[in-house]
Structures are given as structure tokens and as C-alpha cells.
Structure 1
Amino acid sequence: MSSSSTTSQASALDSGMEALAGLNLLSLQETQGATSLIDTTAAISSMVDQLSGLPTTPPSLFIDLEGVELSRHGTISIMQIHNHTNGQNYLVDVKTLGRGAFSTPGALTVNTLKAVLESSSIPKVFFDVRNDSDALYSHYGIELRGAQDLQLMELAARAGSRKFISGLKKCIENDMPMTSIEKDNRAKAKDEGLKLFAPEKGGSYEVFNQRPLPEKIRIYCVQDVHYLPRLWEVYNRKLSARWRAKVQDATEHRVMQSQAPDYNGKGRHMTLAPRGW
């Protein structure tokens, strides 16, 4: 990378940080719940204990990942985990901890985060599980089980055409009731977040690898995963037993596809509904 390019990206990053500083951090924290950065093995151990034995109906765990070109060809920087039972958010620093993020056992249990992710008896909700699963499997050998794909739940619950899937932004805006404060805070955090990491807006995904992780980036990371439980409730109410089964089969197929040698997580095919839907 040239020095001029580096200077330009740094300038964009600084300006994005300044804009994010104008957010009402207190109101964001109140609407999102408490957030813990998990960047030591001791913190991982404590988190694993807290995630053990949680209720499974409805699901307690809602998960998202951030990284640089998140896939087998890129890296995982942060794993966001939302515990719906108490509103706690965990930002697991995968960049810092590496395999230790997934292999460190709890202090009170023999569980690891890898074991939680691979357990078919612990439901874990993702929005479009494919590239998350690809990255987890390719870099850390994690064979995801027990996944529920919220993107497929929306498609199954939809009254109109099911030819194309919807993105999370559209689902939140169209299907989830939000307070005016939530709408305002989410819009600010998302827009300023894009300025930090979206290349087309002058940002760089490397912002997720900055350490210490800026507080404003923590807020951005929590934004999406925080809303997943409410979307799950909206779509779950609309699903018949038949469609629940179809969603589960399609989710498992997505995970299996993501682990295949020829999996390609980019392209128009990623916008299409499962065949036969």
C-alpha cells in the first residue's frame, strides 16, 4: 500500500471516529444492554461458564462475526454473541486470542466455545450463516451445528414472492417495531460505521483489527446482533411446523455448502432463495 493511500485511509478513519463521538453513548448502552470485550483466556473461561445451561426455547444465543473479507480467504476479527436471557453482549476478540478463543474451557465446566458452537442441542441464531460458517470452519475447524438462520426464517414467513432473500437492514426497517431513540441511534451508528470500514466510503475493514478496539466500534459491532432476538420472535410467530422444518433443512444445507471445497460466498447466487421455495 502506498503512503498516500495509507494517509487517506487514516484520515477517513479519524473523521469517522470524530463523527461517532457525537453519538449519545449512554442511550446506546441503555438500548443495547451491557457489553463485555473478551480478549483474555480468563475472560473466555468466564464467558463459557455463563453460556452454559441457558434456556433453548426460545434460543438464548444470537451470533454475528466481523472480519476482513470474512470467509476462508480472509480473517475473523470479532465474534459478537448476544445472550438473550440477560441482555448481555460479548465481543470475542478472535484476532487477539486466535484458537484460544475457541479452545479455552470454562472454569466451572469442561465446555469450550467450540463445543458450544458444535452442539446440536444448543440453538444459535445467525442472520445468513453461510460466510460465518465458512470462516469458522476454514480457519478454526469448527463444524457448526444447531444453527438457526434468521434470513431463511424471514423468507419462510414472507407473504409475497420468495424468489430473493432479504438483507438484515431491510428486515429491521420493515419488520421490527423500534422506538424513535432506537431508530435514531441505530441509523447514526450504522452510517458512521460504514464510513469507517466500507472501502466505497473511504474506510477500511482493517478498523476491526485495531487494538485497543475503539469504543465506537464496539457499539457498531453490537448493533445488529442486539436486534436479532426481536426479529426471531416476529418471524417465529408466523411459521407453521412445515415451514419450520423447511427452514431447518435449508439452514443445515447452507452450513454443509459453506464447508465444501468449491464454496463461493460472493455473487448473485447468494441472493437467491433455496431451490423449490
Structure 2
Amino acid sequence: MSQPPVPTTIISSTTDLQSLLSKIPALPTSPPSLYVSIVGNGSYYGQPGERFGFLCLYIPPHNKIYLIDIQQLGEGVFTITAPTNTAPTPDDESGNTTSTSLKAILESPTIPKVFGSITSECRALDWRFGVSVAGVHATFILQWAASRYTCFNIGLSECVARHAPAPVANEYLYLHLREEAAYRAIKGSGDVPIKQRPLHEDIFLGLVNTLIPLPVLFRVYTDMLSAPDMKEYRDTVQSKTEDWIAEVLRR
């Protein structure tokens, strides 16, 4: 199998998931350390019978991508808990032991999470799993603000083509085309690509590919919005994101 551009681990056991969860609360928050995508079986997330395939996390401080296999772990994956240790403080030299879960992390307003898109993702998380996402940055809304609200809701592929450095854009396009070809071939055989185990090599690389541009795009758009004449747009990003999520959940 071709090596992914970033070391990647598939999380398919409770023990491995708990090990990952225990590390997340201590991650740096500026810039964000969690870049997220969710992949289903290729149909609308809210349809009867739809299942998430993977919740994918890119954690640059670890230089690692984690593909959490929801099909294998089951839909209770969001409430599996793991202990976390907080560092000792001057007032409490012993530190504290608490617990966390994917649900707690996704709902935490103090743990920033960067998504490429949040439309079907936040709807499915809310409707199917009772997860109300918070602390969200969406690259498509950052791009919208950076365009002074003139270029609305373009997809990840177009964001990458327009704004990512050429090496990132070229690699993204190459892997995206490989994934599309594999998807068509598997779908044509009557199978569901994301349900196959083990994953087809190009589907696996496609999951990785949805994450790799996100830190780059986040940096590009936040740099654009940091210009003095962009304050008006910079100051509205959070409210626009919250309004977008609220509107999606009303549909």
C-alpha cells in the first residue's frame, strides 16, 4: 500500500480510542490542533440506514492522522470515556483526574476544531448521536469572510485549488482523482466503498486527503483576515459560523 503523506493510524478498538482521547485535552489550542472530517457511506447522512464510516482527525502536534472506525466501534463510540490527567497547579499540586469522550470533545467550546464543511456533518452528529458541536472553525466560512462575503460556500476542492500552495494543491488533486476512480469502480461492482474492510488503498488515501489541506487553508484564511482592513469581516466569523450551524439544524 502507498504510504500516506502523513503517518496514519486506524482506530478500531476501544483501548486505542481511549488512548487517543486521553491526549486531546492537553493539546495546544492556538492554532487549533484538531482538524476533522466525517465520512459516511456516500449517501445523505440523515437517510434511514445511513451509517458513518469514519471520524477522521488530523493532529499536527502529533504529526499524525487518526481514522476512527465508527463502523467497527459502533455508534456508541461517541460516549466511550477515557481518563485524562490535568497538570498540577500551585493550588493543587496533585493534579486532577477527569474523563473525556468524543462527544465531550466535539461539544467543548474551549477545544477548537477545524472542519472543511459543517453542513451534513453537524446535522448528522446532532440528529443521530445527540452531539451538538461547538468550538467550530469552518474553512468555507473563513474563505467566505476572507472574500469579504462575496464568494459563498465553495467546496474543499475549490478552496484548495484557489488558495493552497501548489505542492499541496497538486497532491490533493492527485489523491482525489485516485479516490474518485476507486469509488466508481467499487460502486459499480455493487459494493459500498467505505464499508469494505480492509479499505481499498485509494479510499484509505482519500480519507487522509480530506484532512491534509485543512491546516494550510486555516492559516491562509486567518492570515488574510488578520489584515487591518479586514477587521469588520474577522469579527463576524464566529457569529456567522454559529448562525450557519443553527440554520442547518433547523432544516
With normalisation by structure 2, the TM-score equals 0.83
* Residue-by-residue CA offset, 1:99-137 (whole Å, 9 max, x unaligned): 332111124450101100000111101112111101111
Task: Give distance in 2, aligned partners of 1:132 and 1:65.
Answer: 7
Q: Conserved in 2, the CA contact under 8 Å of 1:75 and 1:135? A: no
**Over aligned residue pairs, what C-alpha RMSD do you find?**
2.3
Work out which of the residue numbers 31, 48, 58 in structure 2 matches 1:82: 58
Secondary structure in 2 matching 1:259: helix
- What amino acid is aligned across from residue 242 of structure 1 in structure 2? E
Is the aligned partner of 1:120 residue 2:109?
Answer: yes
Q: Is the aligned partner of 1:42 residue 2:15?
A: yes
Given candidates 58, 74, 77, the residue that maps to 2:31 is 58
1:64-143 → structure 2 map (5 Å cutoff): 64-68=37-41, 69-73=43-47, 74-108=50-84, 109-143=98-132
Q: How many residues align?
A: 231
1:205 positional shift: 8.0
* Cα distance between partner residues in 1 of 2:128 and 2:32: 26
- Decide whether the 8 Å contact of 2:25 with 2:111 is kept in 1: no
Does residue 1:164 correspond to 2:152, yes or no? yes
Distance in 2 between residues matched to 1:98 and 1:112, nearest whole Å:
14
Give the number of the structure with larger relative contact order, counting CA–CA contacts within 8 Å between residues 6 or more apart: 1
Relative to structure 1, the CA distance from residue 103 to residue 258 in structure 2 (aligned partners, 3 Å threshold; closer, same or farther) is: same
In 2, Cα distance between equivalents of 1:198 and 1:78: 19
Deviations 1:224-262 (A, max 9, x none): 2111001100000111343233221111112212222xx
Contact 1:117-1:145 at 8 Å conserved across structures: yes
Closer, same or farther in 2 for the Cα pair 1:129/1:204, shift >3 Å?
farther
SS in 2 for 1:57: coil
Q: Distance in 2 between matches of 1:227 and 1:112?
A: 26
Distance 1:61 1:210 in 2: 26
Between Structure 1 and Structure 2, the one with more strand by share is 2
> Letter of the aligned partner of 2:152 in structure 1?
F
CA distance in 2, matches of 1:238, 1:203: 45
Q: Determine the C-alpha separation between the residues in 2 that align with 1:112 and 1:97.
A: 14
What is the Cα deviation at residue 204 of structure 1?
Answer: 6.9
- 2-structure distance, mates of 1:61, 1:228: 10
The runs of 5 or more residues in structure 1 that have no matched partner are 1-20, 264-277
Task: Report deviation, 1:214.
Answer: 3.1
User: 5+ unaligned residues in a row in structure 2: which ranges?
Assistant: 85-97
Write out per-residue CA displacement over residues 38-88 of structure 1, whole angstroms, 9 at most, x where no aligned residue.
111111101101212111111111101111224222331111111122221
Aligned: 1:255 with 2:245:
yes
1:77 counterpart letter in structure 2: G
Identity %: 27
The alignment partner of 1:196 has SS state of helix
